Each structure stands twice: as C-alpha cells, then as structure tokens.
Structure 1
Amino acid sequence: MVVGAGVIGAACAYYASLSGLRVTVIDRGPVAGGTTGAGEGNLLVSDKEPGPELELAILSARLWRELATGPPTRNEARTVSRLDSRIESRFEYERKGGLVVASTEAEMTALRKFAAGQKQAGVEAIEVPARGLAALEPHLAPDLAGGFHYPQDAQVQPALAAAHLLKAAADMGRLTLRLGEEVTAVLTGPNGEVRGVRTPAGDAKAPRIVNATGAWGGQLARLAGVELPVLPRRGFVLVTEPLPRVVRHKVYSSDYVADVTSGSAGLQTSAVVEGTPAGPVLIGASRERVGFDRALSLEALRRLAAQATRLFPALAEVRAIRTYAGFRPYLPDHLPAIGPDPRAPGLLHACGHEGAGIGLAPATGMLIAAMLTDREPPLPVAPFAPERFAERAATG
C-alpha cells in the first residue's frame, strides 16, 4: 500500500507493479493534489554536489528518459541507446538543459570548482564564457560573467507525470486507486508491525505501507508511532502570460545552489527562470519554513520578479498572470528518507526530497520496489535510512 498519490507515490506504485506486486494507492485528495501539483517539474543534476543525492539524480535522469518513450511493460526492456533527447511525451518531457550563470568572476570561480566535482561523478558540465551566453540564451542580461551549461537537466509537467505513472500501473492490472480518503490511523499488531490503515471509508489491510506523503510525511510517521522530522518549506512560483520562447533553457543564478543546501528557516529567493511548451514563463524559487501557511508573501514575489528581470531584462515588460504556492518536504540533512523503518516493521518511507522530489521520483520508486521484493537496490541505500535521525539524536 502506498499512501500519497503525488509523483513519488506514483513512481513507487509503478515500479512495484512492474515488479509484479499488487498495489493500493490512497490519498486524501486527487492525484498530484499536494506538492507535486505545485511543482515546476525540475529534473536537475546541475544543483547537486557529488554524493548520494547526485547518484540518485543521475539514475533518475536516465529513468525519466526511458519513461518519456512510454512506460515499459513488465516484459519490455528499454535501452538507453534507443532514447531520443528530443522526445515530446504525454507528460511534456523536455530535455532542455540547464544554464547556471554567474554575475561576477568570484561567482564564476566557485561554479568552476563545483562543476569539477560534478564531472568526476558523471555529470556533463560545459563552461560557457560571457561572450558565449547569448548563443544559448539571446535575451540574457549582457553583463554576466559566464556560466555552465548542463545538457542533462530536463523538465516534465509533474501532475501529468504522476497521472501517467499511475495509469501505467493500472494498465498492468495491478493498481487499486482510492482518492478522497484521508488516513486517520495506521493499524498495527502487538509488536508494532503495520497491518494497514484506517480511513473514513473503512479499514484497508496491507502488510507493508509506503509513506509517500511528502511534506506531511512526519504526520503519517507519527500515526505509525515513529518520528520523522519532515517539515514543510514553502515556495512560490510566478507565472507569466504566454510568450514566444523567450527562455530556452532552465536558467538560474549561482546562489540557487547555496539556497538549496541551506537549513535557514528565513525567506530565501534565487531566480530560476524557464519557458514552457505552452508559452508561459515560470519564475521561482523561494524557500521559507513557516509551517503550512499558504498566505501570499508579497516580499517573496517582489524578490523573484526583481531577480528574474535582472537575468532577463525583457521580462520587465511582461505581465505575471498568477502565482501559486507549495510545500517542499524538508529534512535536516537535505537527503530523502527512502526505505524500511525498523522501528515500525512493514513501514517504508519515501519522502523528504525537498525541492527535488519530481526529479528523484523514478529512482526512489525503483529503490522502494527493490526493497519490497528483496532485490538488490541499484544504488546504496544506507545514506537514505529513515532511522538515521533517531540514531543521531541518541548519540548527540
């Protein structure tokens, strides 16, 4: 059983179905009704330093390319050699590439150091001098110091991606989808082992439960009698009127990486600007820990608009037609919790991906499926162990 019908839960359900398991997915709302529906759809390797998260991102980048050709059936193998980076799929997969830009020579030096480590980990990072930026992005500000081009960065429409993963699982005849049912209790046995969940529609029995509830992952964990320190980190996205393709890549400033890895609870903004197939330009990204408060922050929006027009001066004359907010599921060490929780036998977690959940969804689903079927995971899973926070508290 998977609790959560966002992109992480959908990926877990899809890969578990592909492994031969029957899966029930339960969500209190619609498909992609939480963080997934408020996401930009970033599939990034460019913002991750060498380590476990980058390994997860590289695997996911390959899996997203495979899924973009059409999710394979259980008996159908797909190879990377058959993949086409120009694919237009049902969930708007676009391997547009990322461009990280620096305003000063000092920032450019930091980008070179960061990219050098990424290259050793298998990331393609191409230095672009100041004079070469216009060839990639003609509307960029002319006074930037340079940047790095990351061809592996891509984008999907996240709600469509979640829906199509669930549809693929349903097409295999292995999925039961229960929407509009809030989990109010986790059913457990005498030794704390999970036995299912309770919803207003009745009990649903299952020997294993995957917690894919995103920013609400800590709440579900507590229903099972364990603590997982997931906190919501609010973010806003500005959406412009439809435009010709003013922005070709996913473009962001070098300070975005520092914001991603920061543990600050205060408001942080760093421009991430990208065009979409439908025409509107999406402008993020802001971060702040204010609980589940959805109140509009004019200060955050002002900062985003100013930073975006600093990168693309032409956007100053463009209308912003709407904005939306979402909650990133934040964990203190910036790594997701993926795998079984020994404190509650039968409970597995797949949450805490913060702003990278859409990009990391396929690899997360593949890891969970491997654990559910006692197969060797494609990556080391120890860095993502859910109990790591309890162990640190005990020794700290």
Structure 2
Amino acid sequence: MIFDSLDVSYGDMWGSQRGMTHPDPMSRAVAARRHAAGMEYAVLLSARERPLALVEYWPRRMWRVYLFDDRSWRMQMIDLKPHSAGMLLAHRNTRWQFSHEQEHSSWNWDVQETTTVSADGQVEVSSEFAGPRGALHALTAEPTGVPVRRFQTPVESFLCPVPEFGDWQVFAPFLAQQGHEPATTVVLNDVSVEEGSGPLRASGIEQLFIPGACETPDGPAVVEPVDAGLLRITSGQLAVSDPGWIGETSRTVAVPPGEFPVTLSLLRTTRGAGVAAARVTFLDIPPHEWEMALRPEEDLGLLGEGQFYGVGVDTGTAAFMDATRTVIEDRLDEDLFAALGSQFTVELPGTEPEPNLIAFRAGRGDGAYPVWIGRTDDGQVGCVVVDFQLRSADGGE
C-alpha cells in the first residue's frame, strides 16, 4: 500500500497486540507534556482506518516501534536507543511469522528472527522456530546455540533522526519493511481526542459513606458504613499502602499526630458485599474541597481524561498506617491476609505508643485506586479517603 498521509492519535502504552485503537486515548496536548517530562506515551500511525505502526516513547529517550502488515497483524518490533547527537540506533529488530490467524491471535509464532546491531555496526542475526509442543529451536546456530550470522556493515544504515514531538514522518520509512510505501511527501492528520475535562475529579466522595439504598452497575445496593477502629499516628505522616509492599506503593499525607477513626463503606448487592471506600477522619468538619494525594514528582497536567495517580494494590489489600510503621513480611499471611479471607478489616496493633496498622480488602482487588484528601475551608486535612471505585457519586461505574 502506498500512502501519502497518516492519521495520528495518542494514548497510554498498550503493547500493540491488545487491539487496533488506544484503549486509553489521550489528547495531543497531554502527550506533548509527557514527552517534555520524559514520561511514556504511545503514538498510533494509521491510514484508511488501518493501523500501520505504533510508536512508544519510553523513559531515558528510548523508542519502540511496532509494525503491522496489510492484514493489521503485528509482525515486527524495532527498539531504538540514542546513538549520537540527534540520532537513534535501531539496535534490535524482531520479526515474526504466523501460519494462520488463530496462531497470531494467541501469539504462537512459527518463526522469530531477531537482528541486533551494535554501536559500531556489528550485526548479529538469530532465527528460531516453534517446534513440537512449542519447543524453540535455532534455525541458524552453532552447537552452543549462539547465532552464526554475523557481519559488519556501516552503522549509518540503522540510524534515524531523533524526532521532535509531532515529527512522526521520521518513522515513515520503517513502514516499508511491512510493504507500506510512503509517498514523497507524507501529511500527518491529528485525529486524537480532545483534552476534555482532564484528570479524574473527586465528585461526591461524601456520598460513598451515606448509609442507605443506591444504584450500581450490578443493580440495587445498600451502603453500610462500618467502624474499623482507631488509627494511631505518631510521626505526623499518614501512609496509604498495600501492606505487602510498604514503601513501594505508599502515598503519604501530612496529618496531625493522635488517634483517629477509620470507617469503611461496605457496598452490599445481590452478588455479595465489598469495600467501596475507606476513610480516616482527622476533623469532624465537612470537607470544603478535595485534592488528589500526589507524590512530589507527579504532575496532574500529565494525566489524560479521567486518569489519576493512585495507590497500587498487588495483594488485594490496602491499609492506613503511620508512615514509620513496618511489618514482618513472613507473618503477613498468618496475621493479616488469612483473617481478611473471612472479614473486611484487620488491625495489626502496635505496642503503645507505637503506631498500629488498619488493613482492609480492596473492593476491586489488585489495581490502582485514587486517594483523596478532604480539606477544610482553612486548608487543614479533615479526612483522607481511598476510593475503590465500586460506584461513583451518582451510583454509576
């Protein structure tokens, strides 16, 4: 196919095999801000509503290009890294062959060929095929399995310019490797989504803790606030974290020391009950405004429509604790996770005046969840809420 224009859209990185459009699209403006900040994003280049290439920008100025053939199958992956001033080196080029569509959809390739190129132009090519029962065998290899196709070539043939943001014509020549020939001049058409209302907003968080009937995507439900005990803060820093990954997933908020009540919002439906949200209250004053709990390096301007920075959960469990609190990892299964199999919340006490830890099930299990700070009209922290997004303020998803 000869093309003289490319449609350009932006989104989060998605690995290309998960579809032909961005599952999490973003505006051009957000992508540009991410590029300037050195954060990852993806660019989809398409023509006639068919994907031709997905370009991923990685931290440390690394790039990855996925190429699609005329069937819209992902057939190639090219990794590029900085080489010299203003230039990128295509240092790894991987191609696949598939016998039929079912094999492609399940990613069972017949042949995988990988070409690696060093900074001085030393080229090494290895080929593997999927033998019986999926075993891999080298097509061209020495007895040790090391590829024997090695040769020297001018490295310039593997270089391309580092693109400025929006200069995606730089990658157009790569498309010829899958039979898509660029015209002399290639016009780029921006078809990305509008910037919209920006990051996720904290609308109606208070309603998550109001008892009574509500509607959810699973049908009628009942909200039941539950007392989960008193949280002891000694350092003046509240941490919200997966108790199995303290420090790695934590979000911290400066709060006063003392003991403060923790409340769970249980959502009961015909399918069972789950923790919809958890709150620790520092002042018995209704919040005047809500803000997302951020780390110092995080910038709301880098988030797309409805996105958020949140606490990561990898054990199906989240917790409130003092930022100085630690756990004995070898005892977590017995002391915490086993108990959460039959109840919604567990306290790991600390010897007074040491801080304790109050853990609870994450309503949707593993994932990332927004943490909201409710501030009074004079800016004090009135409460902190982690929302597990089982329902929104209006009862929807």
Instruction: Please indicate the TM-score interval, normalised by the length of the shorter structure.
Output: under 0.3
CA radius of gyration, larger in: 2
Structure with more of its chain in strand, by fraction: 2
More RCO (CA 8 Å, sep 6+) = 1
